[in-house]
Amino acid sequence: MSKVLIIGAGGVGTVVAYKCAQNREVFDEIVIASRTKSKCDAIAAKIGADNITTDRVDADNVDELCELLRRHRPDIVINVALPYQDLTIMEACLACGVNYLDTANYEPKDEAHFEYSWQWAYRERFEKAGLTAILGCGFDPGVSAVFTAYAAKHYFSAMETLDIVDCNAGDHGKAFATNFNPEINIREITQNGRYWQDGKWITTGPLEIHTDLTYPNIGKRDSYLLYHEELESLVQNFPTIKRARFWMTFGQEYLTHLRVIQNIGMARIDEVEYNGVKIVPLQFLKAVLPNPQDLGENYHGETSIGCRIAGKGKDGKEMTYYIYNNCSHEAAYKETGMQAVSYTTGVPAMIGAMMFLTGKWNKPGVHNVEEFDPDPFMEQLPKQGLPWCEVINGDLEVDKIG
């Protein structure tokens, strides 16, 4: 018998709850807890399963979290609140003997800074407590790293270049909206770009490098080099990688809005005084932008996310490998009421928890997903709604750039 506690009732939390409920043989009992309990109640009512209960928690507060964990005694927490809450939830899990999984690395609120050091610092404590913490188990990070581990296990003797390519070719009909939490999304995109080259990080200006890449079933899309957190753990865990980069597509309309938002100071994350109250402009902007959870209804088109890898195959010969998933916004919405970006994050988070609960990814300590056996996870992906395809020795396009 196993019990899962989902913290966060946003777009991703909704998908996680749906998918856990669909896999009752693994998740006997499901608790959804978040800052606003009514949102948890709405999700539970929509799913309509009799094994879901809801609760309220301020996940910034370790004592409140401990009370929640003691009340429900879950086997694992799936943290799909915001990256700001990662450390408080990890602390509470340690205090109460609960295993942990998340989809985004910790970020301090006052600095858009992406690195695993804060969470890796918990390695010894989780190991000593006999608890497993699984970091970055969404799509990217998440499936992107599992794809890389799968390539290493089955195809390559030495991977040399890795390009993670993330395309959203969907259209939601809005002039400007982000596909997940706007505050987190805009912080990520407006920072400097960064990639790994010959043993060191190269920094670029924000969205400085871009190129057309061709995505399956979609076509050519302008793709921008960003820093993305999984690069940090992947180059450590696969040290033969000489160059690792991350690309994401953006339309011109989106980028024009983003530029204006930055130019007028609305992307600021420091406090400003407004009518005697302190507000953070980016948090205020979030309040007036479309809610990512409401984008699903008229969202058309697909996402396509994958890994393009080159290196030496198991036979020592040069080879290329492209592995990807395409996910339809319409199909995701039909199944869960959420668009494909929430869907592609929530499904892997559920599968990660399933891997832990079925004993396949049970390894005390704090681990990024590529440190586990990719095979049972890869087997579940198509069964749970995210089929994947492989192209061997095709043109990766990425060597024509830079």
What does the binding site for ligand NDP look like in residue numbers (CB under 6 A)?
8-13, 34-36, 39, 57-60, 80-83, 85, 103-104, 138-142, 180-181, 184, 292-293, 341-342, 345
Nearest distance from residue 59's CB to ligand NDP, in Å? Answer: 3
What's the closest the beta carbon of residue 240 comes to ligand NDP, in angstroms? 25
Non-local (6+) Cβ contacts of 321 within 8 A are 151, 155, 156, 307, 308, 309, 310, 390, 391, 392, 393
Q: How far is the CB of 61 from ligand NDP (least distance, A)?
A: 8
Question: Residue 9: what residue type?
Answer: A
CA distance 82 to 267: 18
| Nearer Cβ to ligand NDP (75/102) | 102
Question: Among residues 91 and 127, whose Cβ is nearest to ligand NDP?
Answer: 91
Shortest spacing between CB 7 and ligand NDP, in angstroms: 6
| CB atoms near residue 50 (< 10 Å) | 7
Residue whose CB is nearest to ligand NDP in the complex, by number: 10
Pair of tokens at residue 218: 């979609």
Complex with ligand NDP: residue 99 or 168, whichever CB lies closer: 168
CA distance 151 to 329: 27
Amino acid sitting at position 264: I
Give the C-alpha separation, 55 to 42, whole Å: 12
In sequence order, what are the beta bridge partners of 55?
33
Min CB(195)–ligand NDP separation in Å: 19
Q: Which is nearer to ligand NDP, 10 or 337 (CB)?
A: 10
Name the residue nearer to ligand NDP (CB basis): 88 or 320. 88
Please report how many Cα atoms fall inside a 13 Å half-sphere around the Cα of residue 166, on the Cβ side.
Answer: 22
The minimum distance between CB 332 and ligand NDP, in angstroms, equals 13
Backbone angles phi, psi at 134, to 5 degrees: -110, 115
Of the two residues 184 and 310, which places its CB atom closer to ligand NDP in the complex? Answer: 184
Question: C-beta of 356: minimal distance to ligand NDP in Å?
Answer: 17
Tell me the three state secondary structure of residue 26. Answer: coil
Q: Return the sign of the alpha-carbon dihedral for residues 16, 21, 22, 28.
A: positive
d(CA 136, CA 144): 10
Nearest CB to ligand NDP, comparing residues 180 and 322? 180
Q: 55 vs 160, which CB is nearer to ligand NDP?
A: 55
CB of 331 to ligand NDP, least distance (A): 18
The CA-based angle 50-52-54, given to 5 degrees, is 135
